[in-house]
């Protein structure tokens, strides 16, 4: 099979094509004007060589690439070959012969005639290129320069190569062919150059491949020089070290380095808890330490590294011998909050207990405002499991090296924050609370986020690699708990790998209970004051909560109480008083003027004024919504720093009220003749969300129908265009805010009915709760003087009137019975 050449060739035109034997070459490529020595062993090739040698007959050599083939098939050969002649023939090993052949000129194989006893083919003689490049002299000089550099760098190339090439300067084609044969270029490259008949193309390719060969030999030379230099440096250091050893011997000085190194080696041998890879690294560093001078900086760096390596708790773990009943007990005593939170934590810990201290599930993430008990839950879990509790703040971290350490090659390198914390803990399985994730990586560098995820994710932390330690550390036994203020502040890379547990804020009654149960005992102990010396009532606590703090947690409350305790302690130290009773009257003497003025219910019903309920980061709050109408063109204006959702809620409420104008008793022309202004007070505070929909609907109905709204009821709920009231969040906090403001009647969506059970009994006992399915229910409940027949006041309060009549009737019947009994007794006395 002939491998055709893709380039156009110029051949001699003859009446009859010449026929020559063909010798396939697999170990080299023959060029015109050069000689190569080959070993011939195949039967057909031996016969060809012997025949051509005996008769001085010419033959063709062609490159045949290595291809798997059976014995009866013809080897593939390239179309472009060289007409050759045998110059020398010697017997070789076995039945082979060593032949020296010389190339005469390029030829082209056109057709294979026969393959027995050897390959014979028709051949065309290739005419040499007649076009001589203009810059041929410059290219030849450039080739000579490259060859000179190669022979100077690589001693395996003879220095005679340059002289041989200079001898053929008069024949550029011969010079190019000779240059190819002198250097170790690949066979495919040599065949490519053989097929390049055009001198310009051949010199261009030759120069490119010679430059590549120059780069190769230069790289090898550089590597070899570096290796030799390193060997020489090591030899010199060894010699100098030996001299130093002998000098110290003569001076009688102690070998401190060897003693320190021996100390570390003994420590490694005695510590059976170290993993094998840690022992191996420790031995290497100890040996290295003995060869360093105590005065060198490298000695201190190596010693510091060994201290870190051997002080880490690689396998020091506490046994998993806790009981689930004990965990439930500790959670109940250590954290005051909803039962479902404790149940979810118990379920997660039961998996860890069952798997022997390993949990491959998502990492627990506690979401809640400051002071809502995130740290208390983590501490209670650690106490229940009998493990160390560690708090780690990652706020402000913006570089992955702060988490994973710095490489030892840097000046002042240290391990990352996680490894440092574990060293302080002394165990490999503490309970670690990762705090301030909301202040972590402010620049949102994904590599930093992934660095922390590599720490807390149980799928990735089995082989955590600190850059300073350089050995994998197993973090899978550490119970990581993360905390964040709100869901929106969690980096998006963490959300799929977090099990989110939202901690609700505390209402006033819960804050009072937690203060008396947890905060006050700590403050008594911290300040050295006894309960007999200091008294604080629930009313005072309630006043501090409502007027000096505005938060969902208890952080601010704790700080205010600490202010009181410090002032009391000052008076105790100066012997001014011996007992202190904090009352509502003298509270300002300890805390100063109140910071907040709580919202209170209006004294009388008003048109366009309704009490809405809001849920903020600080808990529930009462929000009065005002509305007025004025002559205009039917436009709606809303003010109060409102978000897009709340503005859309106002539009939906207006559309519904407009659709029900006839039923409510509103003149339809009022919508086009009057402008409406809806205002949400406290304009500096941003507001958003759909839960004010029912309140806005009521305000719009009131100002357009000119009916006052009841001042003793507060409400919340989202409104649809069809007037349905949808579920909202923060019901417990909202009802508590209404109770705190003195409003004991609350209207909430029917869908939130199940959430009422979480409220304290005191609030449930005093507060009446109305459930809304449609906005019409709220209109019936809150709009006074509602004259249309469908919504008369008598129908609104029908149940209350009936109950009142029944009570009056029963009281009258009781009085008549008592009077009759008195008459009977008096008549009997008279008869006697």
What is the dihedral sign for C-alpha 135, 141, 143, 145? negative
Q: Which of 763, 716, 711, 717 is nearest to 736 (CA)?
A: 763
Specify whether the CB–CB gap between 622 and 611 falls below 8 A: yes
**Angle of helix 172-182 versus helix 160-167 axis, rounded to 10:** 160
Neighbouring-strand partners of residue 233: none
Burial of 647 (0-12, 13-18, 19+ CB in 10 A): middle
For the record, the structure tokens of 729 come out as 């969040």
Specify whether the CB–CB gap between 338 and 473 falls below 8 A: no
Distance of alpha carbon 724 from alpha carbon 726, whole angstroms: 6
- Do the strands 2-3 and 479-484 form a parallel or antiparallel pair, or are they unpaired? unpaired
Residue that has been written with the tokens 């070998």 in this structure: 255
Neighbouring-strand partners of residue 718: 726
What is the dihedral sign for C-alpha 700, 701, 706, 709? negative
Specify whether the CB–CB gap between 542 and 609 falls below 8 A: no
Task: Provide the 8-state DSSP code for 759.
Answer: S
Give backbone dihedrals phi and psi of 492, rounded to 5 degrees, phi first. -65, -25
Distance of alpha carbon 694 from alpha carbon 669, whole angstroms: 23
Task: Give the Å distances, CA to CA, from 652 to 426, 674, 688, 724.
Answer: 61, 18, 15, 11
Distance of alpha carbon 777 from alpha carbon 797, whole angstroms: 13
Tell me the H-state helices in 355-445. 374-385, 401-404, 417-425
Specify whether the CB–CB gap between 537 and 581 falls below 8 A: no
Q: For residue 579, how many C-alpha atoms fall within 13 Å in the half-sphere facing its CB?
A: 4
The answer to whether residue 691 is catalytic is yes
Specify whether the CB–CB gap between 331 and 346 falls below 8 A: yes
**732, 734, 736, 780: the active-site residue:** 734
Specify whether the CB–CB gap between 709 and 672 falls below 8 A: no
Q: Report the SS3 class of residue 466.
A: coil
**691, 702, 705, 736: the active-site residue:** 691
Task: Provide the 8-state DSSP code for 731.
Answer: H
Rg of the chain's alpha carbons, rounded to an integer?
Answer: 49
H or E stretch covering 364: strand 363-367
Distance of alpha carbon 306 from alpha carbon 313, whole angstroms: 14
The length of the chain in residues reads 832
Residues sharing a CB contact under 8 Å with residue 162, sequence separation 6 or more, in sequence order: 144, 147, 148, 151
Residue that has been written with the tokens 């003195």 in this structure: 742
Task: Provide the 8-state DSSP code for 515.
Answer: I
The residues assigned a catalytic role are: 691, 734
């Amino acid at each position: 099979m002939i491998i055709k050449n893709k380039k156009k060739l110029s051949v001699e035109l003859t009446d009859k094509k010449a026929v020559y034997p063909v010798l396939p070459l697999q170990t080299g490529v023959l060029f015109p004007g050069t000689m190569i020595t080959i070993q011939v062993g195949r039967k057909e090739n031996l016969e060809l060589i012997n025949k051509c040698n005996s008769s001085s007959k010419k033959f063709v050599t062609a490159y045949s690439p290595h291809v798997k083939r059976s014995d009866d098939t013809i080897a593939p050969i390239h179309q472009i070959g060289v007409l050759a002649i045998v110059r020398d023939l010697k017997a070789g090993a076995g039945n082979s012969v060593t032949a020296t052949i010389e190339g005469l000129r390029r030829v082209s194989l056109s057709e294979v005639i026969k393959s027995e006893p050897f390959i014979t083919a028709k051949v065309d003689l290739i005419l040499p290129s007649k076009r001589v490049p203009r810059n041929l002299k410059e290219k030849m000089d450039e080739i000579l320069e490259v060859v000179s550099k190669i022979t100077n760098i690589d001693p395996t190339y003879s220095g005679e190569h340059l002289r041989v090439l200079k001898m053929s300067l008069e024949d550029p084609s011969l010079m190019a062919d000779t240059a190819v044969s002198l250097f170790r270029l690949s066979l495919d490259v040599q065949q490519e150059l053989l097929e390049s008949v055009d001198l310009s193309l051949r010199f261009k390719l030759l120069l490119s491949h010679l430059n590549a060969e120059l780069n190769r030999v230069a790289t090898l030379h550089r590597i070899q020089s570096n290796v030799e230099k390193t060997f020489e440096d090591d030899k010199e250091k060894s010699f100098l070290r030996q001299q130093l050893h002998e000098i110290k011997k003569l001076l009688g000085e102690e070998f401190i380095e060897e003693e320190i190194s021996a100390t570390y080696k003994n420590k490694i041998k005695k510590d059976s808890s170290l993993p094998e890879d840690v022992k191996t690294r420790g031995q290497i560093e100890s040996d290295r330490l003995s060869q360093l001078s105590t005065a060198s900086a490298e000695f201190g760096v190596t010693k510091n590294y060994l201290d870190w390596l051997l002080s880490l708790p690689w396998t020091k773990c506490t046994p998993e011998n806790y009981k689930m009943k004990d965990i439930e007990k500790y959670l109940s005593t250590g954290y005051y909050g909803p039962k479902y939170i404790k149940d979810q934590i118990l379920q997660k810990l039961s998996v860890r207990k069952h798997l022997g201290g390993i949990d491959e599930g998502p990492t627990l993430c506690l979401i809640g405002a400051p002071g809502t008990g995130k740290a208390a839950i983590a501490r209670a879990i650690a106490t229940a499991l009998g493990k160390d509790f560690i708090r780690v703040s990652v706020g402000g971290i913006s570089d992955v090296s702060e988490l994973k350490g710095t490489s030892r090659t840097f000046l002042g390198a240290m391990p990352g924050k996680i490894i440092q914390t574990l060293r302080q803990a002394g165990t490999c399985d503490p309970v670690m609370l990762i705090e301030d994730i909301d202040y972590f990586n402010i620049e949102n560098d994904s590599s930093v986020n992934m660095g922390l995820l590599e720490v807390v994710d149980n799928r990735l932390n089995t082989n955590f690699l600190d850059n300073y330690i350089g050995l994998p550390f197993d973090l899978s036994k550490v119970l990581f708990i993360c905390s964040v203020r709100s869901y929106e502040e969690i980096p998006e890379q963490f959300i799929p790998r977090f099990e989110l547990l939202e901690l609700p804020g505390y209402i006033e009654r819960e804050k009072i209970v937690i203060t008396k149960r947890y905060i006050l005992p700590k403050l008594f102990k911290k300040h050295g004051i006894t309960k007999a010396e200091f008294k604080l009532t629930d009313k005072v606590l309630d006043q501090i909560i409502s007027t000096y703090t505005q938060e969902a947690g208890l952080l601010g409350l704790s700080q205010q109480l600490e202010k009181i305790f410090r002032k009391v302690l000052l008076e105790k130290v100066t012997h001014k008083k011996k007992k202190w009773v904090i009352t509502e009257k003298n509270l300002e003497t300890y805390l100063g003027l109140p910071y907040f003025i709580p919202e209170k219910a209006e004294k009388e019903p008003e048109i366009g004024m309704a009490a809405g309920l809001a849920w903020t980061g600080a808990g529930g709050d009462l929000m009065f919504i005002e509305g007025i109408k004025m002559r205009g063109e039917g436009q709606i204006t809303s003010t109060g720093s409102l978000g897009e959702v709340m503005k859309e809620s106002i539009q939906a409420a207006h559309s519904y009220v407009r659709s029900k104008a006839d039923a409510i008793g509103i003149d339809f022309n009022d919508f086009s003749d009057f402008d409406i202004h809806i205002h949400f007070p406290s304009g500096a505070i941003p507001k958003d969300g759909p839960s004010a929909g029912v309140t806005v609907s009521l305000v719009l109905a009131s100002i357009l129908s000119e009916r006052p709204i009841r001042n003793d009821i507060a409400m919340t709920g989202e409104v649809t265009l069809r007037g349905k009231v949808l579920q909202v969040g923060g019901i417990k906090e909202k009802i508590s805010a209404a109770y705190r403001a003195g409003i004991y009647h609350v209207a909430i969506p029917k869908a939130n009915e199940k959430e009422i059970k979480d409220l304290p009994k005191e609030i449930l006992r005093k507060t009446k709760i109305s459930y809304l399915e449609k906005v019409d229910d709220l209109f019936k409940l809150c709009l006074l003087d509602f004259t249309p027949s469908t919504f008369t006041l008598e129908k609104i309060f029908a149940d209350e009137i009936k109950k009142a009549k029944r009570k009056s009737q029963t009281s009258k019947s009781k009085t008549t019975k008592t009077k009759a009994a008195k008459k009977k007794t008096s008549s009997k006395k008279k008869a006697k």
